[in-house]
Amino acid sequence: MLRDPEQIQRIVEDGRDLPTLSVVVTRVSEMVRDPRVSAAAVGRVISEDQALTAKVLKLVNSSFYGFPQRVNSVTRAIVILGFNRVRNLTLTASVLGALPARHGAFSVASFWAHSVATAIASDSLAKILRLPAEAEDAFVSGLLHDIGKLMTIHFFKEEFEAVMKTVVEKNCLVVEAEQETIGTTHAHIGGWLSQRWNFPESIAASVRMHHQPDLSHQHRRLVMIVHVADILARALGLGSGGDMRIPVVDEASWRELGLTREVLDQCMKEMLDRVEQTEEFIEMVTQ
């Protein structure tokens, strides 16, 4: 028996059977909203969770940031990267640690390859378009945009299998098959999860609206960036989101972001230049 959308929403929002994130993540998110907070104070809170601290430092020292010197403390990372980026790192490390790394039939490795490619594309696009506010959260928003899919795979197995069957039978997009089979989509499921896990609103909006950027209000430009990045990752065949078709770029996003052929070419070039970082990232994720 497939569950209906309300039932799925209740299960995700209730969260009893879902993994929990480190309490440190919520505290850090609250702290960075306070302009008077010090790097040392945030560093102390993160350091209370040793496993999380180790993961954050591993991410900081990975090739994504490419610092010539090793960063050995969280406080130092905050000084170099700023509060928001370190908050995003704790969120990333905590989410990746909370989700099971493997799942039989579905290739979780190609799911993460798609997610990392979308993260890189979002980051590059925000920088090429000179949108510094969006650039802060672009990487993590791209990385987590399809988190609802991973939720469905792990916690709604029957529903996930029904969706994948529809994808094959109708040769349609996952998001279309989801709407038809379970009456909701991974974007909505991810949105409920984002609330449950207290994601910052910018990231939650990207998760919830990346397939309907034209309908988004808050963080509209970031949502549009993630929407375009998702399509570029598919166009370059980096990883897989579970379907073979490539959706078209939403017209409003194209217009409002001021996209041009040159911008997309430059972004795709950067994605290919950074593609070897994907391997390293997936290794960190699936360890």
Judged by CB under 5 A, the residue of 241, 250, 253, 278 near Fe ion is: 241
Q: Position of tokens 């190609």?
A: 110
Nearest approach, Cβ of 152 to Fe ion (angstroms)? 11
Q: Which is nearer to Fe ion, 49 or 134 (CB)?
A: 134
Q: How far apart are CA 175 and CA 167, in angstroms?
A: 9
Task: Give the CA distances from residue 156 to residues 97, 101, 180, 186, 210, in Å, rounded to whole numbers and listed in that order.
Answer: 20, 16, 16, 11, 21
Q: Position of tokens 């299998």?
A: 161
- The reply on whether position 134 binds Fe ion by CB under 5 A is no
Q: Which is nearer to Fe ion, 43 or 241 (CB)?
A: 241
Q: Which stretch binds Fe ion (CB under 5 A): 9-17, 41-49, 144-152, 274-282?
A: 144-152
Nearest approach, Cβ of 186 to Fe ion (angstroms)? 6
Q: Which stretch binds Fe ion (CB under 5 A): 11-19, 66-74, 158-166, 235-243?
A: 235-243
Q: Which stretch binds Fe ion (CB under 5 A): 21-29, 88-96, 217-225, 233-241?
A: 233-241
Question: CB of 125 within 8 A of CB of 138?
Answer: yes
Q: In one letter, which amino acid is 87?
A: R
Q: State both tokens at 44.
A: 């102390």
Q: State both tokens at 225.
A: 């960036």
- The reply on whether position 137 binds Fe ion by CB under 5 A is no
Question: CB of 148 within 8 A of CB of 191?
Answer: yes
- The reply on whether position 239 binds Fe ion by CB under 5 A is no
User: Terminal CA-to-CA distance of the chain, rounded, Å?
Assistant: 34
DSSP class of residue 215 equals G
Other residues' Cβ atoms within 10 Å of the Cβ of residue 69 = 8
Nearest approach, Cβ of 96 to Fe ion (angstroms)? 17
Q: How many residues bind Fe ion (CB under 5 A)?
A: 3
Nearest approach, Cβ of 69 to Fe ion (angstroms)? 35
* 146-205 positions binding Fe ion, by CB under 5 A: 146
- The reply on whether position 243 binds Fe ion by CB under 5 A is no
Q: State both tokens at 218.
A: 């808050």
Binding mask 212-231 for Fe ion (x = CB under 5 A): ------------------x-
Q: Which residues bind Fe ion (CB under 5 A)?
A: 146, 230, 241
